[in-house]
Structure 1
Amino acid sequence: MTISKDAIDHLFTNARTANGFIDKPVPLSLLKEVYEIAKMGPTSMNTQPTRYVFLTTPEAKARLLPALSPGNVDKTSQAPVTVIVANDTQFFEHMPVVFPNKPDAKEMFAGNAGLAAGTATRNGTLGSAYFMIAARALGLDCGAMSGFDVAKVNAEFFPDGRWQANYLINLGYMDTSKLFNRNPRLTFEQATQVL
């Protein structure tokens, strides 16, 4: 089955990074719906290391603002929701439930810190990409950001060290007057090799 061109355009071709948002709330029920769709995307060995912290109040956002690069403060303050996308460094504790067909999966990761860290980073980022696509599919606009002090966010929100911040996503409904011009994309020939 192929989805429609309109759906592809909505998710990719015409979708834009949100740099500003209108004043329209995002209900918790919609955030739950986005998660329920995104969690179905594949990760290696079904590890699912992505974690999300939804900042929905001015008080919660005030804790984040000191860690942001100056260019990200206004749009983050304005966004109805800011998501701290994190990786669970101990994701493997859930392996007996999420990957029961390999009984020693938990021990495999627990006994190999490098394997666990690499798996969390790759698959945590992959999971959050599914999250953004699901958010777009349900009518939300996304503004992903890496302009922040990771150590400050980890100290403020994850002092026990188990979750580690990866990047941030502002969510809501785009203020189209604040769109930047679309930047060029690499061509197939520039970005690929066919062997």
Structure 2
Amino acid sequence: MKLKYQLKDNNFYYTNTDISKNKFDIQDSQIIHDIEQELLIKSYEIFLDELDENTLFDENYFKNLHKRTFASLYDWAGVYRDFNMAKGESRFCQGAFVESSSKKIFEKLKEDNYLKDFENRPKEEFAKKLAYYKCELNALHPFYELNGRITRMFFDMIVIFNGYKPIDYSTITPKQYIDCAIDCVQYADKSGFEKIILNGLHKIKPN
């Protein structure tokens, strides 16, 4: 069983499980995982189809990724948490400050033009920026669940906009990824993700 989030209100999960309460009252972890994966694949297709020069990778876009992907399954899709959460030794942004902290992250991202002008800039510079914001959103951990998958999709849309394929994580193990995420949250160390992203960035070859 995966490590559950530590919540003050354990009513979020079904009793003695790591399964979030859902609209269909499904309590089989494999079925839930399969449904989530199907919804994510479908959402990738939808958001890719909608991607154009007017797309703004702002806070509203980020929330909508989560809401539109998982609203059919969870009531809390797209809703920021207002309570404290931890996982293992990692303590995420306090619930009372999620909204204000998110505003600051996306204000800074706006100053960086939502990373929309990196198509012809050095890949190393792009990877550094992506790792910075990835770590910021990891530490924020704004949603009840499914933060990692939505955050990865968010940055995939940004790199695709800039002429890259989705970030390739296939050369690392899940443990290596999790260790980098822990380093981000506990030590504000983005170097691990910077290396992973740099190695996973590949330009789309022109036809």
TM-score relative to the length of structure 1 = 0.30
Give the structure, 1 or 2, with the largest relative contact order (CA under 8 Å, sep 6 or more). Answer: 1
Larger radius of gyration: 1
More helix per residue: 1 or 2? 2
Structure with the larger strand share = 1
